[in-house]
Structure 1
């Protein structure tokens, strides 16, 4: 769709004929093409807003465009079209889908993500080990609905574990350590960034969700990090 497209030309003509300051078309094709919807938003010179819908001819054209875009790649999911025509500027046209939106969100999340890269060090790791030696467990919630936790614990008197714990009592060790010193060396070399990105390194939207960090360990050990 461009400025010369039939629908955009109709929108500009409608804005002019009605004496509007702005006319906006929002259209969506949702859930694998099963639901189609469109809305017109009219803005009068005094700022008053009213709503409407496209005539059948223009609605058919927009619907065909969205179906065509959806058919190009079934993984696109929901598709949204927005066209804004103002009295003083060229039309603004935007066609997006879930795939494009997800990629944009990932790029933004990657650009904004900042995690401490400093290794925790042996002193902090020793304090954590002392909690586990005393029979304690350290955990952060990943999914409260499923009762899923990320945890550090001692499966028995001689080993240490890092992994997942479940509300029903089950556990899944992702890493086990045969000795206290082995566990301390492992934790001392880790950092907030390592914990934040280890599960899904290519998905910035998931970074830092339900993971350990320096501030958490400082609170639990009662000492400065």
Structure 2
């Protein structure tokens, strides 16, 4: 919604005039609209030539303009949540206008998580999968805590009917299978084709912030089997 504000907007022109009149090197307006438009805050940050910072507030007229612009932004689309506005005026650079809302914050968080995500993409292979199946046959506990507050773990287990499963286990003792395998060999083929990357992204493929949280990985299987792979 940056089209609501340009270098020719009244508020931006006022900021640039104040920048020049005060002999500043930088003048920044930071404003926010919270609680569905019921609370508005703004702060001016003055940067002197020697780098010293002082703070102030907008006069009544520019403040009313900023509040109206923010309300228009808020009304432009549902679900934006709290809104933040930053206008930076430097003595030797064009003004910079940035809007931020909950939708954009979530998008930025996802992009940061995606950029920081690094998982091993090597398949586990049949040998490792066989050793994991042997542990399941012996009734070993193969689980990783997902939510300690709710007592939820991600688990691999063998059921009494001979099927193999991967899913969630609850502290009450219940299990919820996300995927079942009719035979030992079917499970081994599936696990052998997995990797840290595939398991990390399986539950939330579109939300990088959730990748790798409470998921199995090569290091876990190596510890459980007692062998490196």
- Structure 1-normalised TM-score? 0.90
Q: Secondary structure at the match of 1:58?
A: helix
The aligned counterpart of 2:227 is 223
Cα deviation for residue 111 of structure 1 reads: 4.2
The aligned counterpart of 1:151 is 155
Q: Secondary structure at the match of 1:129?
A: helix
The aligned counterpart of 1:187 is 191
Q: Bigger shift: 1-10 or 107-116?
A: 107-116
Decide which of 117, 122, 135 is 2:126's aligned counterpart. Answer: 122
Decide which of 81, 102, 106 is 2:106's aligned counterpart. Answer: 102
The aligned counterpart of 2:205 is 201
Structure 2, unaligned runs of 5 or more: none
Cα deviation for residue 25 of structure 1 reads: 0.8
Equivalent-residue separation in structure 2 for 1:58 and 1:167 (angstroms): 57
Decide which of 118, 134, 140 is 1:136's aligned counterpart. Answer: 140
Structure 2 vs 1, CA of residues 62 and 117 (structure 1 numbering), >3 Å: closer, same or farther? same
Equivalent-residue separation in structure 2 for 1:51 and 1:219 (angstroms): 56
Equivalent-residue separation in structure 1 for 2:38 and 2:145 (angstroms): 36
The aligned counterpart of 1:63 is 67
Equivalent-residue separation in structure 1 for 2:185 and 2:20 (angstroms): 77
Equivalent-residue separation in structure 1 for 2:227 and 2:175 (angstroms): 28
Structure 1, unaligned runs of 5 or more: none
Root-mean-square deviation over aligned CA pairs: 1.9
The aligned counterpart of 2:9 is 5
Cα deviation for residue 27 of structure 1 reads: 0.8
Q: Secondary structure at the match of 1:33?
A: coil
Equivalent-residue separation in structure 1 for 2:16 and 2:151 (angstroms): 54
Q: Bigger shift: 73-82 or 134-143?
A: 134-143
Cα deviation for residue 89 of structure 1 reads: 1.8
Equivalent-residue separation in structure 2 for 1:113 and 1:128 (angstroms): 26
Equivalent-residue separation in structure 2 for 1:145 and 1:28 (angstroms): 34
Provide, for residues 157-199 of structure 1, a one-character-per-residue CA deviation record: whole Å limited to 9, x for no partner. 7232210112232221112223322222221122222212211
The aligned counterpart of 2:29 is 25
Structure 2 vs 1, CA of residues 34 and 170 (structure 1 numbering), >3 Å: closer, same or farther? farther
1:63-102 equivalent positions in 2, closer than 5 A? 63-102=67-106
Matched, 1:169 2:173: yes
Equivalent-residue separation in structure 2 for 1:122 and 1:197 (angstroms): 21
Matched, 1:43 2:47: yes
